[in-house]
């Protein structure tokens, strides 16, 4: 039995397309076909129907589940052997959402690669729920996930940061709706009340965004329906919309820090509260409980913790100057 053939089988089972799979694996269709044929001959059965189109047989579907577990076990064993032999080499499979990956990967990769020059990094940029699924399927060593209430017993998570949310709004916009602007700002910096902003237009993230669910809950608890003037799934547009005084926006702590120098001088940054507590989103490092974690993966987590610790004491709220 050849692990390479098994791996090729699992990749073909995902696409059910010989040409696409061959291109992904950088092998010819004939080479791929030969590997599948050898695997089927070894077991004395067919894993694929070839006509009218390529699809898994019932036996092929059963074998796919077995093959994925087998490949994971083999990868775990290789990692264990390397650790025991103190060979600091291998491949680290990471997952993160795009905005966060843009921030933390460049910040820690230099130090990580200095310590582990022979470890390759493979980064998958997905939504948090997709990353969790990939961890469950043992396709990732580690994922950085936004996690509100993860109860899956097969995932182990460690909190990196309770990322606070902020309401960002310009004086130019507020002047259209408030006469006593300074009193509102002084009140909002310490105890933001969304009821005060019921007429202000908002940019809100699309409903599939986990930040949006927290914002929805905050408005619900305040008894206010937001004037959702703009809806977007693209977080970067929030900065432009805020700077142009088109709408008030909610921005996460990490993005506030990243964009601080780009805010116009008249932008107020108010921490979002609900029931007297800061509204925050947990950022977690997650892994499959059953997956072996290498010492270089453990070191990567340590570097992540060092990076996220820098956010804890930072004061980001501000009242715009006159």
Which phi and psi angles does 309 have, rounded to 5°? -60, -25
Q: Are residues 189 and 245 in the same domain?
A: yes
Q: Are residues 45 and 55 in the same domain?
A: yes
The residue-averaged pLDDT of 12-22 equals 91
Domain coverage including residue 14: 3-82
The residue-averaged pLDDT of 183-212 equals 88
- Length reported for the chain: 322
**Is 261 a member of any domain?**
yes
- pTM for the full model? 0.69
The tens digit of pLDDT for each residue in 139-195 reads 899 999 876 555 678 888 888 888 899 999 999 999 999 988 888 999 999 888 899
Q: What is the phi-psi region of residue 302: left when phi exceeds 0, alpha when psi lies from -120 to 50, beta otherwise?
A: alpha
If you search the block for the tokens 């060979």, which residue do you land on? 87
More confident residue, 6 or 235: 6
Q: Is the model's pLDDT at 138 over the cut of 90? A: no
> For residue 136, what are its two tokens?
């469950």
The tens digit of pLDDT for each residue in 39-61 reads 999 999 999 998 888 999 999 99
What's the longest Cα–Cα distance across the chain? 82
**Is 321 a member of any domain?**
no
Which of these three, 27, 49, 82, is where a domain ends?
Answer: 82
∠ CA 58-134-117, nearest 5°, is 125
Which of these three, 55, 82, 109, is where a domain ends?
Answer: 82
For residue 156, give the 3-state DSSP assignment.
Answer: strand
Interatomic CA distance for residues 319 and 322, integer angstroms: 9
3-state helix, strand, coil split of the chain in percent (to 5) is 50, 25, 30
Interatomic CA distance for residues 168 and 316, integer angstroms: 11
**Is 250 a member of any domain?**
yes
DSSP 102-122: HHHHHHHHHHHHHH-TEEEEE
- Alpha carbon separation from 131 to 5, 24, 190, 285 (Å, rounded): 26, 21, 36, 11
Report how many domains make up the chain: 3
The tens digit of pLDDT for each residue in 228-282 reads 778 887 778 999 999 999 999 999 888 898 899 999 999 999 999 888 888 988 8
Q: Are residues 239 and 193 in the same domain?
A: yes
For residue 303, the model assigns a pLDDT of 93
Q: Are residues 258 and 236 in the same domain?
A: yes
∠ CA 291-294-296, nearest 5°, is 140
Which of these three, 57, 82, 107, is where a domain ends?
Answer: 82
DSSP character at residue 318 = B
CATH number, domain at 124? 3.40.190.10
Q: Contacts from 206-214 at CB under 8 Å and sequence distance 24+?
A: 206/231, 206/232, 206/233, 208/127, 208/233, 209/233, 210/128, 210/146, 210/148, 210/281, 211/146, 211/165, 211/250, 211/252, 211/281, 213/148, 214/148, 214/165, 214/279, 214/281
Q: Are residues 167 and 255 in the same domain?
A: yes
Q: Are residues 198 and 286 in the same domain?
A: no
**Is 178 a member of any domain?**
yes
Q: Are residues 157 and 57 in the same domain?
A: no
Q: Are residues 130 and 67 in the same domain?
A: no
Interatomic CA distance for residues 228 and 232, integer angstroms: 10
**Is 317 a member of any domain?**
no
Which residues have C-beta within 8 Å of that of residue 274, sequence separation ≥ 6? 217, 218, 221, 222
User: How many other CB atoms are there within 10 angstroms of residue 139's CB atom?
Assistant: 17
More confident residue, 318 or 80: 318
Q: Are residues 220 and 178 in the same domain?
A: yes
The mean pLDDT of the chain is: 87
For residue 268, the model assigns a pLDDT of 95
Burial of 47 (C-beta count, 10 Å sphere; 0-12/13-18/19+): buried
Interatomic CA distance for residues 170 and 149, integer angstroms: 33
User: How many other CB atoms are there within 10 angstroms of residue 243's CB atom?
Assistant: 18
Which residues have C-beta within 8 Å of that of residue 259, sequence separation ≥ 6? 239, 251
* N-terminal to C-terminal alpha carbon distance within the chain: 74
The residue-averaged pLDDT of 17-31 equals 90
Q: Are residues 169 and 273 in the same domain?
A: yes
**Is 320 a member of any domain?**
no
For residue 170, the model assigns a pLDDT of 95
Q: Are residues 13 and 145 in the same domain?
A: no
Q: Which of 61, 116, 93, 124 is nearest to 291 (CA)?
A: 93
User: How many other CB atoms are there within 10 angstroms of residue 176's CB atom?
Assistant: 10
**Counts of helices then strands in the chain (DSSP H, E):** 12, 13
Q: Is the model's pLDDT at 124 over the cut of 70? A: yes
- Give percent of the chain above pLDDT 90: 37
**Is 141 a member of any domain?**
yes
For residue 94, the model assigns a pLDDT of 92
CATH number, domain at 48? 1.10.10.10
Q: Are residues 104 and 61 in the same domain?
A: no
Interatomic CA distance for residues 301 and 296, integer angstroms: 9
């Amino acid at each position: 039995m050849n692990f390479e053939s098994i791996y090729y089988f699992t990749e073909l089972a995902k696409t059910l397309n010989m040409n696409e799979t061959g291109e992904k694996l950088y092998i010819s269709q004939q080479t791929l076909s030969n590997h599948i044929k050898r695997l089927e001959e070894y077991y004395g059965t067919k894993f694929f129907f070839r006509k009218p189109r390529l699809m898994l047989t019932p036996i092929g579907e059963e074998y796919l589940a077995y093959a994925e577990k087998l490949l994971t076990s083999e990868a775990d064993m290789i990692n264990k052997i390397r650790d025991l032999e103190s060979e600091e080499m291998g491949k680290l499979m990471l997952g993160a959402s795009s905005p966060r990956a843009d921030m933390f990967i460049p910040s820690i990769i230099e130090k990580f690669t200095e310590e582990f020059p022979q470890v390759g990094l493979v980064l998958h940029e997905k939504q948090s729920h997709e990353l969790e699924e990939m961890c469950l399927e043992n396709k990732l060593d580690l994922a950085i996930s936004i996690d509100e209430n993860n109860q899956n017993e097969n995932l182990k998570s460690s909190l990196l940061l309770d990322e606070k949310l902020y309401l960002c709004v310009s004086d130019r916009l507020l002047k259209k709706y408030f006469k006593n602007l300074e009193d509102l700002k002084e009140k909002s910096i310490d105890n933001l009340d969304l009821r005060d902003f019921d007429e202000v237009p908002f940019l809100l993230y699309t409903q599939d965004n986990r930040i949006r669910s927290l914002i929805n809950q905050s408005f619900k608890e305040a008894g206010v329906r937001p004037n959702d003037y703009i809806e977007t799934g693209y977080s970067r547009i929030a900065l432009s919309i805020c700077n142009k005084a088109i709408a008030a926006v909610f921005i996460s702590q990490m993005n506030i820090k990243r964009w601080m120098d780009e805010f116009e001088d008249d932008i107020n940054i108010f921490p979002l509260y609900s029931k007297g507590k800061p509204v925050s989103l947990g950022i977690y490092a997650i892994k499959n409980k059953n997956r072996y974690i290498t010492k270089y993966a453990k070191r990567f987590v340590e570097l992540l913790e060092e990076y996220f610790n820098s956010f804890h004491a930072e004061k980001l709220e501000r009242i715009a100057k006159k």
